[in-house]
A and B are shown apart, each in its own frame.
Chain A
Amino acid sequence: GDSVTQMEGPVTLSEEAFLTINCTYTATGYPSLFWYVQYPGEGLQLLLKATKADDKGSNKGFEATYRKETTSFHLEKGSVQVSDSAVYFCALSAVNQAGTALIFGKGTTLSVSS
């Protein structure tokens, strides 16, 4: 079945460091891909998304490109801030599933220190 694999955490970085969180997926059909973020004490928020191959999603300085050839959707940010500390989830939504439920990875905890 469809699945998402993302890098194990925790990831610990200093402020202004470059961030990459790897995400690969397995899916039949042509899924939409998402990154969700959960800040401490809050619910899941959609960070960015891409709906077709070669699309780049971006938000708050974060970017991810839908790579069909490598089945990847890696999250990147050029300069992280302390406020970026959170848990990041990669997810897919397969367009051919009746329920269009999201399939999530295990989550990667990011901790940024000043």
Chain B
Amino acid sequence: EAGVTQFPSHSVIEKGQTVTLRCDPISGHDNLYWYRRVMGKEIKFLLHFVKESKQDESGMPNNRFLAERTGGTYSTLKVQPAELEDSGVYFCASSRRRGREAFFGQGTRLTVV
């Protein structure tokens, strides 16, 4: 069984540019989560999809962040326009059912310069 896959693994962009991160969850996992870790700080929850619906997006920092999960399969997280404070590692996780173990991807390291 393939694990959670994230693309790209690293991204360096200039302030004001747009970046799109992608997450492919484990096949059959309806629950998909995005998290972010800013250097030296906690891993923080961003949002939770159940299939294609946003179950909880209370952790999204502002309207520069847009997450989608069309068709309930892979998900994208777009940052537009990127700011310096958006730098960090973005993790995606999926689980078959809510409350069950969540499997994490390797993360995307985003650097905004």
Q: Which residues of A contact B (CB under 8 A)?
A: 4, 36, 41-46, 49, 89, 91, 93, 95, 98-107
| B99 pairs with A95, CB closer than 8 A | yes
Instruction: Judge if B69 is at the interface, Cβ distance under 8 Å.
Output: no
Task: Tell me the complex Cα distance, A101–B99, Å.
Answer: 9
- Cross-chain contact A46 with B56 (CB below 8 angstroms): no
Q: What are 16 A-B pairs with beta-carbon distances under 8 A?
A: A41-B106, A42-B106, A43-B3, A43-B4, A43-B107, A44-B43, A46-B101, A46-B103, A91-B43, A98-B56, A99-B98, A101-B45, A104-B42, A106-B40, A106-B42, A107-B42
Chain B residues close to A by CB (< 8 Å): 3-4, 33, 35, 37, 40-45, 48, 55-56, 58-59, 91, 93, 98-99, 101-107
Instruction: Tell me which residues across on chain B come within 8 A of A105, comparing CB atoms.
Output: 42
Besides the contacts A99-B55, A101-B45, what 17 more A-B pairs have beta carbons closer than 8 Å? A43-B104, A44-B91, A45-B104, A46-B103, A49-B101, A93-B99, A98-B55, A99-B48, A99-B58, A99-B98, A100-B98, A101-B33, A102-B33, A102-B102, A104-B42, A104-B43, A104-B44
Contacts of A103 in B (CB 8 A): 42, 45
Q: What residue of chain B has the Cβ atom nearest to residue A103's Cβ?
A: B45
| Residue among A42, A95, A100, A107 making CB contact with B43, cutoff 8 Å | A107
